Structure formats: C-alpha cells, structure tokens
C-alpha cells in the first residue's frame, strides 16, 4: 500500500508540474496573441511584457525538471522555445524599448532550439519569420556599435547575423553567402584587435573572391604586420586575379618586394605607383629611401628629388625631412672620414674634401632644424646637429645640442 501511495503522489506531482508548465505557456501564448491583436501601442507593450514574464516562468519550471526522473517532453520543450522565440524576437524588434536590449541573442538561441525540436516543420514559417526579424535587428545593432566605435560589441552582433544566416540556410537548404556581413565582421574584428578572427573572416571573403578590394588589402596588411610576407603576397595575387584592371594592389606588392629585399623590382612598382598617385607623399618618401639604398650617385640624385617632392606635398613630413637631411649628413661624414685618413702630405686634398663635407652638412642643417621643430626630442636629429656644429667649429651650438641630447636621453 505504501508503494502505491508513493506512486500516486509522484504521478500527482508530475501532473501538477505539467499543468503549471502548460498553464504558463498558454498564458504566454494568450498574452502574445493579445499583443498581436492590439492596435494601441500602450496595450501592445503591456501584453508583450506579460507574455515575457509567463514564458520566463515556464522555463524556470522546465529548468527545475532537468536531471529528474520526469524531464519535460521534447514536444513541450519545442513548443516553449517556439513561444519564447516569438516573444523575444518581437521584444528585440520594438524600437527604443528598454526590454529590447539584449533580447535578440536570447531570441536567436530560442529559435535555434525551436527549429531543432520542430522535426515535422509545423512552425517553419513562423520560425523563418523570426530569423528575418533577428537578422535585421542584429545587423542594425552591429552598425550602431560599429559607428559608435564599440567594435567588440559590433563583432558580436555581426557574428550573430551570420549565425542567423547559417540557420536559415540549413533550414531552407540554401547556400547563400551574406557578403556584406562577412566583411563587417572582419572589419569589426580587426578594429577590435582580434587579429585571428579578422584573418578568419577576411580569408572567407578572399576564398569566395568577394568583389571588395579592401578585404584583400586589409588581409595582406595583417599578414605583413605578422611578418608573413609569403601569405601577404598570396592574398595580393588573388586580389589581382579578381580585379585585373585595378591599381589598388600596387602598394601591397611594393611592401612584399621590400620585405623580400627585392629593391630593383620594388623600384619599378613604386615608380608606377608614383605616376598613378602623384600626391602620395608617403610613397615618394619610401621611393627615395629605396633609391638611396643602392648607394650610387645616380640613385642618390633620384632619392633627393623624391624626398623634395614629398616635402612639396607635405612640408611637415618628418620622415622626408629627416631622411633628406641624413642623406646629406652621411655623405658629408663619409667624405670627412676619407679626408681624415689621408696622409699628411695631401693637405690640399684634405682641405678640399673637408670643404665638400662642410657644404653637405650645411645642406643638411635646415632640414634637421625643421625636423627638430616637429619632434624636439628625436635623438637622431639632436645627435646629427651636435655633430655638425662640432665639426664646423661652432662649439657653443654644439654644446647647446649636446645638452638637449642628454636631456632627451634622460627623458626630460
């Protein structure tokens, strides 16, 4: 008799719990139906909030049954997830409502489970409608976060958009690729400093040969920053195949050639680029530096012209100022070293070479001065100015720059 009584109590408890779950889900459904039927905004909002409260309570009961001898049936669980997806997707799609915040990811989890548990596809149309609503809501949230420079949040939203798309594709047997969102995920990941994810999503775009030049350029730049010039060049090669008439990949090719110490090939590409982008001071400065690396008089003249052209475009371009000044200074220092190594009986030659060196130092001075005005604590500039004035016999000036140099080294 005791066993029978215990069984009756257990059955009664199970029936009561099932009734509670059924009641809460029915309540959620009824309030949601009211929400759909109401025209007045106030009543709609009130009904949606009540529907949320009821469905949340239903899930609390479902959670309490996990791991027990009488877990919730899949059919009941599927229905609960279906109602939750409907309710939370509408919450997410309610503009300016406080309850809309954070509702979209919850709705996405719910609809994913609802689809999984709807083996017969009885709720297919409503589930797909939920996905469409969530796609729009999450994409807009991603754009808002991206524009607000909250790139980590944007990344999460856009990844959820891709999750929506994958779920919709699986449900409808489609192979559609959401090109725009893949690109936005990659941008967001890169801006958020998540390099691994940026590479993952940019690579998806490259593999699918997206018609967007920036993904090839950005991925190539990431690989270059990681020191992987070979992969960077592979990406540029694919980009050139997709955009055979584009000049957008010249800079990427140049960076690769410079990284591989192929200066002669790099110069050819840079000269092409300089003709295409005559207002690019940075390109002209790099071209000048590459010319200079050959250490010939002909190339030095080309380097000088490139630096000066860069400074015509941007008179406060520190790198061009410093490089041009350093080129004059180094040529002067080389001449002075040769002069100092001459035997004592070649005084006339020594005097001539020293004069040439001092002339080169004088050419360097105004550019070093302008560079120092931009960056007063640059050690290279201060060292050069100290050396020039010491060599030309202006000890007061040399000591002045020596003090500045010591202060800059001390971090003052």
Q: Is residue 374 part of a domain?
A: yes
Which stretches in the chain have pLDDT values below 50?
1-20
Judged on CB neighbours under 10 Å (0-12, 13-18, 19+), 235 is buried
The set of residues, in sequence order, having a beta carbon less than 8 Å from that of 79 and lying 6+ positions away, is 25
Counting the structural domains of the chain, the total is 1
Question: Mind listing the pLDDT tens digit for each residue in 85-137?
Answer: 999 999 999 988 899 999 999 999 999 999 999 989 999 999 999 999 999 99
Nearest to 179 by CA among 198, 201, 194: 201
Nearest to 334 by CA among 358, 357, 304: 357
Give the 3-state secondary structure of residue 295: coil
CA triple 217-223-228, angle to 5 deg: 135
What is residue 7's predicted lDDT score, i.e. its pLDDT?
34
Q: Is residue 324 part of a domain?
A: yes
Q: How far apart are CA 70 and CA 184, in angstroms?
A: 46
What is residue 400's predicted lDDT score, i.e. its pLDDT?
94
Q: Is residue 200 part of a domain?
A: no
Cβ atoms of 389 and 397 within 8 Å: the answer is yes
- Per the structure, the complete domain to which residue 325 belongs is given by 316-412
Alpha carbon 312 to chain centroid, angstroms? 33
Q: Is residue 6 part of a domain?
A: no
Q: Is residue 400 part of a domain?
A: yes
Q: Is residue 129 part of a domain?
A: no
pTM of the model: 0.67
Q: Is residue 106 part of a domain?
A: no
Q: Is residue 320 part of a domain?
A: yes
């Amino acid at each position: 008799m005791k066993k029978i009584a215990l069984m009756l109590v257990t059955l009664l408890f199970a029936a009561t719990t099932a009734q509670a779950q059924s009641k809460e889900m029915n309540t959620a459904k009824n309030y949601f139906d009211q929400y759909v039927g109401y025209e007045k905004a106030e009543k709609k909002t009130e009904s949606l909030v009540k529907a949320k409260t009821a469905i949340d309570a239903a899930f609390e009961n479902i959670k309490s049954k996990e791991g027990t001898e009488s877990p919730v049936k899949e059919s009941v669980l599927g229905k609960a997830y279906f109602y939750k997806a409907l309710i939370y997707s509408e919450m997410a799609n309610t503009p300016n409502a406080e309850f809309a915040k954070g509702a979209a990811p919850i709705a996405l989890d719910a609809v994913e489970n609802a689809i999984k548990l709807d083996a017969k596809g009885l709720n297919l149309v409503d589930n797909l409608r939920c996905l469409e609503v969530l796609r729009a809501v999450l994409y807009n949230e991603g754009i808002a976060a991206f524009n607000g420079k909250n790139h980590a949040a944007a990344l999460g939203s856009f990844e959820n958009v891709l999750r929506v798309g994958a779920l919709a594709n699986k449900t409808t047997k489609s192979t559609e690729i959401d090109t725009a969102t893949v690109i936005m995920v990659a941008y967001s990941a890169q801006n958020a400093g998540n390099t691994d994810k940026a590479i993952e999503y940019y690579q998806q775009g490259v593999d699918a040969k997206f018609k967007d030049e920036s993904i090839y350029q950005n991925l190539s730049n990431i690989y270059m920053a990681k020191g992987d010039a070979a992969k960077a060049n592979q990406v540029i090669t694919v980009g050139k195949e997709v955009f055979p008439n584009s000049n957008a990949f010249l800079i990427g090719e140049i960076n690769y050639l410079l990284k591989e110490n192929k200066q002669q090939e790099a110069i050819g590409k840079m000269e092409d680029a300089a003709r295409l982008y005559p207002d690019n001071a940075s390109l002209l400065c790099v071209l000048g530096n590459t010319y200079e690396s050959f250490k010939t008089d002909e190339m030095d003249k080309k380097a000088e012209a490139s630096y000066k052209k860069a400074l015509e475009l941007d008179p406060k371009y520190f790198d061009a100022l410093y490089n041009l000044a350093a080129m004059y200074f180094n040529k002067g220092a080389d001449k002075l070293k040769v002069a100092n190594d001459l035997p004592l009986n070649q005084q006339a030659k020594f005097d001539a070479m020293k004069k040439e060196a001092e002339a080169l130092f004088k050419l360097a001075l105004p550019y070093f001065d302008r560079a120092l005005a931009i960056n007063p604590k640059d050690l290279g500039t201060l060292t050069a100015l100290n050396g020039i004035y010491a060599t030309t016999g202006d000890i007061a000036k040399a000591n002045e720059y020596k003090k500045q140099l010591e202060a800059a080294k001390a971090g003052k």
